[in-house]
Amino acid sequence: MSDHIIKFDKVGKSYGSLKVLDGLDFEVKRGEKVTIIGPSGSGKSTVLRVLMTLETINAGVVYVGNEPLWHEQCNGALVPAGEGHLRKMRQQLGMVFQQFNLFPHMTVRRNIAEAPVKVLGLSRQDANLRAEELLEMVGLADQADKYPHQLSGGQQQRVGIARALAMRPKVMLFDEPTSALDPELVGEVLNVIARLASEHDLTMLLVTHEMRFAREVSDRVCFFDKGRIKEQGTPEELFTDPKEQRTRDFLKAVLDA
């Protein structure tokens, strides 16, 4: 019995001849906060999208808890999982999208409460209560009746975070949550994520370009390159004393920018 909540075992994913994940081995401990950095096209977002079952894999096995995510046991062999298994596994994960992906025709409250009602079976009343608590937490208690387009990008993303949290996931996935935001709105979103990291024992997986933020909140930073982890370590190790030339070049390029 390991204390890993996520484990990638030689996972491969390719689009035609392009290898996005190339025999990836990767583990995350329960409660760990891991940041993934790397150049675009290095496969870092794909790790999150595979975990959220938005994209399939071509090779290897992904474990969440101790169960394979994309496979089911059948007569001792692993076979591709059916929708029922995926739905069960998905329950443990929550995702925050780069483009927020809020439902434009639902009020903020309904965006958050819809899945608890329809998927977890909460009453509309309990779900609304949960939504309001979460809105309070992300500092948007007074915006519950607005529609997404009436909010700023930073506010929309905070709703996106609340929406994912409403499902009480064990693992939160953040896919470049601030990349689509104007610079002056980045702070409010990062503050919410930082509070979440310090006050909860939630496992968090974060893909970001915000290096300073990565350094503050993560237990571990992984540098991705060409579908594999090129180098990983504590933020201290990776940012101050990277071993690999490739890592040094990347950090130099982004920190100088």
Partner 1 sequence: MLFGIEWDTSSELAFAWSILPILLIGLWVTVQATVLGFFVALVLGLILAVLKAAPSRFISWPARALTEFIRDTPLLIQLFFLYYVLPEYGIVLPAFLTGALALGLQYSAYTSEVYRAGLEAIGRDQREAARALNFPAAHTFTHVLLPQAIPRIIPAMGNYLVSIMKDVPVLSVVTVLEMLNVAKIIGDRTFDYMVPLSMVGGLYLIMTLVASAGVRLLDMRLPKQGLPLK
Instruction: Please state whether beta strands 93-96 and 171-175 pair in parallel, antiparallel, or not at all (unpaired).
Output: parallel
Nearer to partner 1, 99 or 240 (CB): 99
Contact criterion met (CB below 8 Å) for 228 and 24: yes
Q: How far apart are CA 46 and CA 175, in angstroms?
A: 9
Q: How far apart are CA 159 and CA 238, in angstroms?
A: 32
CB of 118 to partner 1, least distance (A): 5
CB of 114 to partner 1, least distance (A): 7
Within 10 A of 255 (CB to CB), how many other CB atoms are there? 10
CB of 101 to partner 1, least distance (A): 4
Q: How far apart are CA 121 and CA 24, in angstroms?
A: 36
Nearer to partner 1, 174 or 239 (CB): 174
Q: Please give the single-letter amino acid code of residue 220.
A: R
Nearer to partner 1, 53 or 143 (CB): 53
Binding site for partner 1 (CB under 8 A): 52-54, 87, 90-91, 93-95, 97, 99, 101-107, 109-110, 114-115, 118-119, 145, 147-149, 163-164, 167
**Location of structure tokens 């992300």:** 138
The candidate with the shortest Cα–Cα distance to 24, out of 16, 15, 14, 35, is: 14
CB of 96 to partner 1, least distance (A): 9
**Location of structure tokens 């237990």:** 219
**Structure tokens, 84:** 């029922």
Nearer to partner 1, 91 or 232 (CB): 91
DSSP letter at 52 equals T
β-bridge mates for residue 59, sequence order? 12
At 203, give phi and psi (nearest 5°). -80, 135
Nearer to partner 1, 95 or 238 (CB): 95
Nearer to partner 1, 33 or 110 (CB): 110
